[in-house]
Amino acid sequence: SPMLDVRDLRVVYPNGNEALKSISFTANAGDIIAVIGRSGAGKSTLLRCINGLQEATVGSVTLDGEVVTNLRGEQLRKARRYIGFVWQEYNLVERLPTITNVLTGRLAYVNPLAAFIGYFGKYDREIALKSLERVNLLNRAKFRADRLSGGEKQRVAIARAIAQEPKILLADEPVASLDPELSVQVMSDLARVARELGVLTLINIHDVELAKQYS
Ligand code: ADP
């Protein structure tokens, strides 16, 4: 069975906006998929349905055999452990070191009290360092995030997402805040890491040329 199964997914917002009409598709581990469409087409809504930030009005999203649509509380938290997310605006904690930002990708795996006091085990630290290495930023591990360039920040965000050991990696316009040169670098890193790890990846992107190069 496919890693991702989106079936008859429809989303109508409370104000009556129909963001997704009824979409169905499946995808497998290792696929790298560019979701292309004009602004307002519903790309973000699709990703937010997959990671549980948005309720489906009709239909379902199944990830590795588990329905992830319309979950709540503990079930939602558990499902989201396996879903890595990369935002347009990075969402790093700017005043914390790079490595700590990547370690937050491990939060769902550690005891909440341990996490609260900043305790991560050896395995968590190792995987965080490995993830930073994959995006070639090991030399920035101790830098505060606010000292990094935009491209570096987004590569740290990619490292944080893969530190989660996700079943699916979702990226919502990951290079829209970067200039063209950095966009190419970040997209190529994202696609390379996804390929190396064989993790299913969905990338919302409005730049069709970039999309063609990397999906
Ligand atoms: P895209 O990511 O392709 O730009 P979105 O998924 O953000 O598209 O939006 C799809 C449609 O849903 C748009 O018409 C947008 O205006 C509308 N929309 C998005 N979020 C909301 C919301 N919270 N409430 C009402 N309408 C929304």
Predicted confidence (pLDDT) per residue in 41-75, tens digit: 999 999 999 999 899 999 999 999 999 999 999 89
Token pair in block for residue 183: 């966009």
Asked if 173 and 205 touch (Cβ cutoff 8 Å), the reply is yes
CA 206 and chain centroid, separation: 17
Which residue, by CA, sits nearest to atom 10 of ligand 1? 42
**Across all residues in the chain, what is the average pLDDT?**
93
pLDDT at 109: 75
pLDDT at 147: 97
- Tell me: pLDDT of 195 over 70: yes
Is 39 a pocket residue for ligand 1 (Cβ < 6 Å)?
yes
User: How many A from CA of 51 to the centre of ligand 1?
Assistant: 16
Q: Tokens 């965000």 identify what position?
A: 157
Asked if 118 and 106 touch (Cβ cutoff 8 Å), the reply is no
Rounded to two decimals, the pTM is 0.94
Distance separating the N- and C-terminal Cα atoms of the chain: 22
Average pLDDT over residues 200-208: 94
Is 37 a pocket residue for ligand 1 (Cβ < 6 Å)?
yes
Ligand 1, atom nearest to 17 Cα: 26
More confident residue, 165 or 38: 165
pLDDT at 208: 87
Which residue, by CA, sits nearest to atom 23 of ligand 1? 13
Is 45 a pocket residue for ligand 1 (Cβ < 6 Å)?
yes
User: Per-residue pLDDT tens for 67-126?
Assistant: 999 999 989 989 999 999 999 999 999 999 999 999 988 887 777 666 666 777 889 999
User: How many A from CA of 42 to the centre of ligand 1?
Assistant: 6
Asked if 162 and 134 touch (Cβ cutoff 8 Å), the reply is yes
pLDDT at 172: 96
User: How many A from CA of 16 to the centre of ligand 1?
Assistant: 11
- Tell me: pLDDT of 211 over 70: yes
Is 43 a pocket residue for ligand 1 (Cβ < 6 Å)?
yes
Cα-Cα-Cα-Cα dihedral sign, residues 15, 172, 183, 132: positive
- Tell me: pLDDT of 142 over 90: yes
pLDDT at 121: 84
Q: In one letter, which amino acid is 144? A: R
